[in-house]
């Protein structure tokens, strides 16, 4: 990997550093040690590491788009936004897209400098570790534990929705939703355990199918609605209606509906040219899904306006009793498309589960290498380079989020899915906030001459404002139930994450090199590939931590 530090200890002879632990050369690629003619430290027994260079930009984009579940977002989020804004709901998604692009630009700046499957965990460590190693340790581990405690809720919500959607589409009842939800989870896990190539291929195909179908149906609605296609240019329907509907929970819903755009950062170790691919992927994914949400909502409003009139049509689109507005529109305009849209709703959920498991298993694998989880979870299969233990950990936690709610509540699966999504999303947004705040600090401490006021200060501030608004809107206690209790769940997750970070910070012998080593982009504007040997930017990775132990490379499973 290209993100290497020189050995800080003076030596009589030059020493070629080994790459960060947990990354093995992929097909057709030599390791850094092989390229220099030196022997790299052998991986642990039975551990082949992640496969460097296994996939390209297409696979990264496919997994990221699948993680964002554009069809599910359009089916679930759009009606809630329409209920508040009426015919002007598409503008909420357009504004959310512009705001999230600021966050994507910030993450792209980190991805150009730091290659690590730890994603936000690694970014927080490198950014705040420039102030003090202890701060970097605490914030990075806090970000990880936030993800660990909240991620299963959001992914479990997708699985529950998949089961509910399929049972409704097939006319089944009873506990069939639970059976199908668990079946979808098992299938997704089986795909991920086949390796990064298989999971990226499946995700890419499913992402292409769902986006093509949704945009194709949107085009049909715009054509069939005639002059009603202009209704989003005027305010009609909704409560309070128009741009006034952006207040309250509306805009935060639009922001939260696009969670997952950072997915490709967790695959950095398995990408070819990750310093180029990850920045492009995060930006393109926000644009593609943002445009998809905007156009599909616009088309849905036009379709209802052409059918029922602008105001009544918007009210029908946003009616909570109307569980599937797009299926209703298909039944009116093109009955043959009804079954296709129903199938795509299930496909979107399956694709999201595959992509989310892929990302979370890599982040947890890296965290385990750093000592935040048991060392056994920081091993990858030698044959396929899959973090099996980390994947099964997430399968177990997501399975619990599917199976436990029916034991403690009589709420229908659609309600359970909504609860879990609401409770789990905010801590994930907070993790993004930490990263956005960290970029200006990281550049100020490591590359002050390269710091640009607009690009590295103003843009992150826009991202902080947009995502911060999303956090605040989702934890306001004056929301209708069950949203009025989301702040309690968020506070509990943050408290558990803080406790985990405190315990980790007190642990000696941490292998912080597992979080990757930072490297500034070349001064001539070129980008180093993952295995290029370029001088590393100052990083806390080699600093002595508060426990007095060196944070340099150790065996990945060291206690």
Domain annotation covers residue 533:
no
CATH of the domain at 153: 1.20.1740.10
Q: Give Cβ neighbours of residue 130 (< 8 Å, ≥ 6 apart).
A: 136, 441, 442, 445, 446, 538, 539, 540
CA pair distance 247, 83, nearest whole angstrom? 12
Q: What is the count of structural domains for the chain?
A: 1
Is the Cα dihedral 231, 237, 242, 246 positive or negative?
negative
Phi, psi angle pair for 194, to nearest 5°: -75, -15
User: What does the block give as tokens for 298?
Assistant: 């616009």
Q: Give Cβ neighbours of residue 494 (< 8 Å, ≥ 6 apart).
A: 146, 427, 430
Residue pair 351/69 in contact by the 8 Å Cβ criterion: yes
Domain annotation covers residue 179:
yes
pLDDT tens sequence for the chain (559 residues): 444 344 433 333 333 333 444 555 444 343 333 333 333 333 443 455 899 899 999 999 999 999 999 998 889 899 999 999 999 999 999 999 999 999 999 999 999 999 999 999 999 999 999 998 899 999 999 999 999 999 999 999 999 999 999 999 898 988 999 999 999 999 999 999 999 999 999 999 999 999 999 999 999 999 999 999 999 999 999 988 888 888 777 888 888 888 899 999 999 999 999 999 999 999 999 999 999 999 999 999 999 999 999 999 999 999 999 989 999 999 999 999 999 999 999 999 999 999 999 999 999 999 999 999 998 999 999 889 999 999 999 999 999 999 999 999 888 998 899 889 889 989 999 998 998 999 899 999 888 888 889 889 999 999 999 999 888 888 888 877 778 888 999 999 999 999 999 999 998 767 778 787 555 444 434 434 434 333 333 444 433 333 333 333 333 333 3
CA pair distance 358, 282, nearest whole angstrom? 16
Domain annotation covers residue 196:
yes
Domain annotation covers residue 170:
yes
Exposure pattern of 252-289 as b/e (b: 16+ CB <10 Å)?
bbbbbbbbbbbbbbbbbbbbbbbbbbbbbbbbbbbebb
Residue pair 291/65 in contact by the 8 Å Cβ criterion: no
Domain annotation covers residue 86:
yes
CA pair distance 89, 301, nearest whole angstrom? 9
Domain annotation covers residue 531:
no
Q: Which domain holds residue 131?
A: 52-525
Domain annotation covers residue 47:
no
pTM of the model: 0.84
Q: Give Cβ neighbours of residue 302 (< 8 Å, ≥ 6 apart).
A: 221, 222, 225, 228, 229, 230, 231, 232
Domain annotation covers residue 287:
yes
């Amino acid at each position: 990997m290209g993100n290497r530090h020189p050995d800080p200890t003076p030596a009589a002879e030059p020493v070629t550093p080994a790459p960060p632990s947990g990354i093995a050369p992929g097909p057709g690629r030599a390791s850094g040690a092989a390229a220099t003619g030196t022997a790299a430290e052998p991986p642990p027994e039975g551990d082949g590491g992640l496969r460097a260079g296994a996939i390209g930009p297409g696979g990264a984009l496919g997994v990221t788009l699948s993680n964002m579940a554009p069809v599910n977002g359009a089916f679930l989020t759009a009606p809630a936004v329409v209920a508040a804004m009426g015919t002007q709901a598409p503008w909420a998604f357009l504004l959310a897209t512009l705001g999230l692009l600021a966050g994507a630009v910030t993450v792209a700046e980190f991805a150009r400098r730091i290659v690590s499957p730890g994603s936000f965990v690694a970014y927080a460590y490198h950014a705040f570790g420039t102030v003090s190693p202890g701060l970097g340790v605490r914030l990075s581990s806090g970000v990880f534990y936030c993800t660990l405690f909240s991620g299963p809720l959001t992914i479990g919500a997708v699985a529950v929705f998949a089961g509910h959607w399929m049972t409704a589409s097939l006319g089944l009842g009873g506990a069939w939703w639970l059976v199908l939800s668990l079946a979808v989870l098992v299938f997704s896990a089986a795909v991920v355990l086949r390796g990064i190539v298989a999971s990226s291929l499946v995700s890419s195909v499913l992402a292409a199918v769902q986006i093509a179908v949704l945009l194709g149906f949107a085009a049909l609605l715009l054509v069939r609605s005639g002059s009603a296609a202009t209704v989003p240019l005027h305010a009609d329907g909704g409560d309070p209606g128009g741009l006034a509907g952006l207040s309250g929970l509306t805009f935060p819903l639009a922001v939260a509906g696009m969670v997952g755009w950072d997915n490709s950062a967790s695959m950095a170790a398995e990408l070819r040219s990750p310093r180029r691919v990850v920045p492009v992927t995060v930006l393109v994914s926000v644009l593609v899904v943002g445009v998809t949400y905007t156009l599909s909502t616009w088309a849905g409003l036009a379709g209802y306006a052409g059918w029922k009139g602008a105001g009544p049509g918007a009210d029908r689109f946003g009616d909570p009793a109307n569980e599937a507005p797009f299926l209703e529109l298909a039944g009116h305009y093109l009955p043959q498309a009804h079954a296709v849209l129903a199938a795509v709703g299930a496909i979107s959920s399956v694709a999201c589960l595959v992509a989310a498991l892929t990302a979370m298993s890599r982040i947890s694998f890296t965290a385990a290498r750093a000592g935040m989880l048991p060392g056994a979870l920081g091993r990858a299969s030698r044959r396929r380079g899959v973090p099996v233990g980390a994947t099964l950990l997430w399968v177990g936690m997501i399975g619990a989020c599917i199976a436990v709610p029916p034991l403690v509540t009589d709420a229908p699966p659609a309600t359970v899915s909504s609860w879990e999504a609401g409770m789990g999303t905010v801590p994930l947004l907070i993790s993004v906030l930490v990263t956005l705040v960290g970029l200006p600090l990281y550049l100020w401490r490591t590359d002050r001459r390269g710091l640009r006021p607009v690009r590295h200060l103003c843009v992150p501030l826009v991202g902080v404002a947009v995502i911060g608004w999303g956090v605040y809107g989702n934890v306001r206690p004056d929301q209708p139930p069950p949203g009025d209790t989301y702040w309690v769940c968020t506070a509990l997750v943050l408290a558990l994450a803080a406790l985990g970070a405190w315990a980790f910070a007190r642990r000696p012998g941490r292998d912080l090199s597992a979080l990757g080593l930072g490297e500034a982009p070349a001064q001539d504007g070129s980008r180093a590939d993952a295995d290029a040997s370029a001088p590393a930017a100052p990083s806390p990775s080699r600093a002595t931590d508060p426990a007095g132990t060196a944070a340099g490379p150790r065996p990945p499973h060291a206690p």
